[in-house]
Amino acid sequence: MEGQARITAKVEHARAVEQVLQWLGWSVAALGVLGVVAFAVLWAVGELNLDQAVSLILGTALATVLSGATAYGSGVNVGLGAERLELAALAESRQAEPGPAARRGR
């Protein structure tokens, strides 16, 4: 049963990591939107010329989309791995249990 307890602990840890990574992905996306809005405001008030504004807005948008999607996707991947590990451990523990015929001495 010690192995089962370790697997359960690893699955719980993976689920916590999944939540953190997904939160990080959404946070990066929100910061990216704020950055795009800030650069658009600077462009609107005349602090940035067109070339600067376009490059900053596109660079910020693309970087945050890629970073946020990567973090979020990593969280989903960790969660799916935890599900697979839990299902494999459950299947293994069911196979290790003796069936009714084995319990009766047959």
Mean per-residue pLDDT over the chain, rounded = 87
**Does some domain include residue 68?**
yes
Count up the domains in the chain and report the number. 1
Separation CA 83–CA 85 (nearest Å): 5
pLDDT class of 90 with cuts at 50, 70, 90: confident
Kindly report, residue by residue over 8-54, the tens digit of the pLDDT: 888 899 999 999 999 999 999 899 999 999 999 999 999 999 999 99
**Does some domain include residue 28?**
yes
Which is more confident, 77 or 106? 77
pLDDT class of 88 with cuts at 50, 70, 90: confident
Separation CA 56–CA 37 (nearest Å): 11
The pLDDT score that the predictor gives to residue 102 is 52
**Does some domain include residue 58?**
yes
Range of the domain at 73: 2-95
Residues 6+ apart with CB under 8 A from 62: none
**Does some domain include residue 103?**
no
